[in-house]
Structure 1
């Protein structure tokens, strides 16, 4: 298969070629109308894009005169480096970058308990982009409602909720702030974080650990094989490098038994952290969120 000469393709046309490939890959068909409606281009422009894609990948799609559109062939192979995250997002949310997609094509569904407030999220995002502190009114589980100044450096979706990683001047340490617990947020545009308040000073964020995850030892052989296949385990083990600050969130979201002796029970517990004692001895703050007996 030939390759698209990317150096000769404009950014806009490359987006259209990627759209053609996405449709062929995930829906099995492509029409000129698909390109025209998605990018507001003429019929002639859409034809040129289809021709360019076929020239680069002649074995991927073929015109079906009966259905009057292009269909994916059995020889299809991805030509472009499609983003798995963006493809999966499109399957759940429809096409489009930031506008709420209104297309009928949605064949996957994402279950979420909550979505973060966009005004709060945007304030945090601007603060991170401009490297500015934020004054927030925050509801904490330990101290209730309080005002504090924080210096965020990252936003994280841990699969259960959105939170920000930030330096908390009130407590003098880096911590996690759940976006939906923020009552108000104001960007302090005239201030600048100190050297000890920026992301590079957050040790739990910059340092990683390796988690060794196996199928839970209480599972029978058939169940163990199914779990090993699901997680792509090699020699019965799945290795995952993760930031220290994210260890507990990941183990919690996957229901990984994080007790050294694998003593947790329940049909939802399919995995065990083999190096649980080693990780526990590191005294990582987020590890307290991992499933255990504590």
Structure 2
């Protein structure tokens, strides 16, 4: 995928062209009204956008006079570098960047127990953007409710929950804070974050490890073949590079058996960490969250 054919196009028009490509790619049709409604432009501008797209990709869409809209051809090929994450988000939540969308076309569904509180999330995001600490009231599983000052540098979704990765001044270490366990959050405008409290000092965040993941050894040949196909394995396994801080979450979310001898059982256990002993010996803090016999 590339943007060849759109050199010199303004950023706003490129967004509209990407919208045309998304609609053609994922819905099989596109109309002038689609562009007009999404970007609040007139009919002439929408016509020019469609013309520019067809000129660059003449085999992607054709006009169907019976249905009175453009339809996707069997020769369709993406011209623009569409983001898989953003496309899937659109299929789940509709169009638009931040406002709740009302479009009828949504064919993907996200399963989640709870969404993070936007006020809490926004406070952490502002702290990261302005390089400031946050005073929070937090409920932890070990100490219950407490007030502490943290210095966040990233937000992370581990597949189950949203976390803030931050330096905890109370414990003098980097940790993960579940956003929905934060009761209150106040940005400390007059305080600065020290160099030792920034992402550059978070070793578990900046260092990566390779997880070699295979179809679980106890699976029969048919199950193994299906799993290998599902995860795009080559020679029976695939390698996933992950931050040290993410290792346990990733293995837990995907139910990857992290025992050295592939001891876990259950129909939900389809994968095994082939280099479990190597990863275990690295003493990665998050590895304690990985599925095991402990």
Q: Secondary structure at the match of 2:246?
A: helix
Q: Does the CA contact (< 8 Å) of 2:127 and 2:187 recur in 1? A: yes
Report what 2:26 is aligned to: 26
Stretches of structure 2 that go unaligned for 5 or more consecutive residues are none
Instruction: Give, in angstroms, the shift of residue 6 of structure 1.
Output: 3.4
The residue number in structure 1 matching 2:55 is: 55
Is 1:205 the counterpart of 2:185? The answer is: no
Maintained 8 Å contact 1:2/1:57: no
- 1:195 positional shift: 1.2
> What's 2:17 paired with?
17
Query: How many residue pairs end up in the alignment?
Result: 294
The answer on 1:174 being equivalent to 2:174 is yes
Q: TM-score under structure 1 normalisation?
A: 0.99
Give the TM-score normalised by structure 2: 0.99
Runs of at least 4 residues off by over 2 Å: 1-7
Which residues of 2 match residues 1-294 of structure 1 at below 5 A?
4-294=4-294
CA-CA distance at 1:160 after TM superposition: 0.3
d(CA) in 2 for partners of 1:3 and 1:271? 38
1:229-276: per-residue Cα shift (whole Å, max 9, x none)?
000001111100000000000000000000000000000000000000
- Is the 2:62–2:73 contact (alpha carbons within 8 Å) kept by the matching residues of 1? yes
Find the aligned partners of 1:275 and 1:4 in 2 and give their Cα distance.
42
Deviation at 1:7, TM superposition (A): 3.2
8 Å Cα contact 1:64/1:70 also seen in 2: yes
In structure 1, runs of 5+ residues without a counterpart are none
Task: Mark the CA change 1:2 to 1:138 in structure 2 (over 3 Å): closer, same or farther.
Answer: closer
CA RMSD of aligned residues (A): 1.1
Residue 147 of structure 2 aligns to a residue whose secondary structure is strand
